[in-house]
Structure 1
């Protein structure tokens, strides 16, 4: 390094030139070491970012048409003693009026598959109008008012669409009413095939793994759009206590909490019980097979009964405007969900044909108020 120095012709006043050269060599070594460490750090961070950006592929990302077998072992299922009808319930929840027609359609879809369980509708009396409650219960759901469960920490970090969603946890109080097994369906689901087999599960809690369109892809976390649970007030009280101190990302409200609470204890159900639209966008080949056996489809990305592209539900779509609204939304996601939107529309038309008198009466009562 000394020979490249601009001070190479400088004549030192002291005579210990050897010590000066040694000092320069040490300085050069330090510079090289620092540069090497910087290079290694940049390489490692680049490698880590690349790994995070491209998740390790799963068999679902490489899905192939291999398994033609039925989802359920019917012979074994038929050998089981079915639970008493009075002990099972299909439950849904309504937090805003904009979901009333969705729940009415969900009720009709349960009729179509001969669901035998009691139907319950959780609703927040302070948030739901008499007209919306009338529409939602026209197809068989029994209204069940519940108290709002506030999000912990005043909802800090919670998506504003989910601020009321913790109220779903009232499900665990239904044990006091004699229910031993409950399936909760979010209002943006539609039943395609009977799922009574879920009521025979011996486990305390089950849900379907979540799916995302982006790099997160097929996840270990479960989606709470469809959950199976055995109600227990002791569990409910434990949840309410631990919710206040539990450390978790509250963005997705009840879903984030339940993923943390049940974590390693949750049974992961097959995708057929929560056919999330994100699956079709993520892996069309998987969706092609899934659609043939799906019990419940979940309208996550496009909700046919809502007007806004962000599914905020701030605008109530009137019953007479649902068909036009669905056609207006068919172009979203490059038209990927036309078939599924038409399925929902077809079931809504059946709902209105069968329950039209009741539904129109709901509107008349509202006009008379």
Structure 2
């Protein structure tokens, strides 16, 4: 009876009891069953995905707890002075054979070198100030400006990057010339502290010249998950000069394996691996530390221990995309850079800007003549 009604009913075209077809035997899913199966399948997929994510989070949590670093929860426990014994000439210190060295490989860094020189003079360093430069790439006026605050220009030949520069960031292609630092033994230099031009010196660090080691540097700091690493940053280096070391470096440079992207810094990390004296970060206060380890950064400044601040990710003296700018544009650029990174480094950028203003005001005649490109005689060095 029911079967007959099903076959004759006008609703037959639109309704069929689940599990029954025209002959009452085969199971043909309706649209409702298809939707129900789809919902069940999606629910199962979501459940599996949630389970996988929960397990992953548990694993990550356990892994993170095992890999936690002291700096991830920095506490300012040791407040004693960093240096307990003052430098003394009786310990063998000789200013005539020590130098603080920077580089000038393009005109765009001339204001930075001049500002760095002024900061060094303010802290009363007794070491010689030397700026290595490329005669073929640095104009006379830029060299004049860079030397205005006390750096002695020393011409060097460019050391070409290995593998014709393949794989090396364009901004670092000239940086292998930094190996020339070791050749300054020929200039009568026994020990030197190298500082990048994008630094400011805030406190005298002449105590480094009494180190008995041949090489020292501060740990590097990265913006990404690596944070502070065992690798050192090559923006501030202490070293003892040696023509033998210099020649050895040139000999092994073409065949040494190192991450090419990071250029001479990676090479030096490989060359001195296991033999580097680690300096406290106050000797190379990379401003990225402020982002990665704010409590450590605050402690460094509260203790007034910072020797050198390093402008790695913001450069107040350069235009966008690392382009050079005119001397008259530097003040405006400082204001722009203060607002970059959501103002994270505004205090540090302002610090550089004030030092730049002091530099301009302290050496106005030199600055004006350098900008005009005229011949200037300064500190016994003829600049044309």
Measured in 1, the distance between the counterparts of 2:78 and 2:364 equals 42
Find out whether 1:129 has 2:132 as its counterpart: no
Query: Alignment length, in residue pairs?
Result: 321
- Kindly state the Cα deviation for residue 86 of structure 1 after the two structures are TM-superposed: 1.2
Which residue of 2 is the match for residue 67 of structure 1? 78
Q: Equivalents in 1 of 2:83, 2:370: separation in Å?
A: 40
Instruction: Indicate the SS of the match to 2:70.
Output: coil
1:199 corresponds to: 209
2:329 to 321, 331, 356: 321
Q: In 2, Cα distance between the equivalents of 1:80 and 1:248?
A: 41
Aligned to 1:296: 308
Q: 1-side partners of 2:336 and 2:155: how far apart?
A: 34
Paired position in structure 2 for 1:254: 264
The alpha-carbon deviation at position 80 of structure 1 amounts to 5.2
Pairwise CA distance, 1:283: 1.1
Structure-2 residue corresponding to 1:149: 159
C-alpha separation in 1, matches of 2:327 and 2:142: 11
CA RMSD of aligned residues (A): 2.4
The CA distance in 2 between the partners of 1:306 and 1:161, in whole Å, is: 13
Mapped to 2, the partners of 1:253 and 1:117 lie a distance apart of: 28
Q: 1:140 to 1:74 in 2, by over 3 A?
A: same
Counterpart selection for 2:357 from 330, 349, 364: 349
1:339 aligned onto 2:344: no
Name stretches of at least 5 consecutive residues in structure 1 with no aligned partner. Answer: 1-41
Map 1:154-165; keep pairs closer than 5 Å: 154-165=164-175
C-alpha separation in 2, matches of 1:98 and 1:366: 19
User: How far apart are 1:366 and its partner, in Å?
Assistant: 5.7
> Are 2:232 and 1:225 equivalent residues in the alignment?
no
- Offset at 1:317? 2.1
3-state secondary structure, aligned to 1:263:
coil
Aligned residue among 103, 120, 132 for 2:113: 103
Specify the alignment match of 2:226 in structure 1: 216
| Residue-by-residue CA offset, 1:272-304 (whole Å, 9 max, x unaligned) | 100000100111111111122100000001011
Larger CA Rg, structure 1 vs 2: 2
Match of 1:24 in 2: none
Give 1:69 shift. 1.1
Q: Which residue of 1 aligns with 2:317?
A: 305
Q: Aligned partners of 2:92 and 2:192: how far apart in 1?
A: 14
Please list every run of 5 or more consecutive structure 2 residues that lacks an aligned counterpart in the other structure.
Answer: 1-51, 376-383
Deviations 1:230-256 (A, max 9, x none): 000000110001111111111111100
Q: Using the alignment, how far apart are the partners of 1:80 and 1:227 within structure 2?
A: 24
Cα distance in 1 between the residues matched to 2:187 and 2:78:
41
**Counterpart of 1:183?**
193
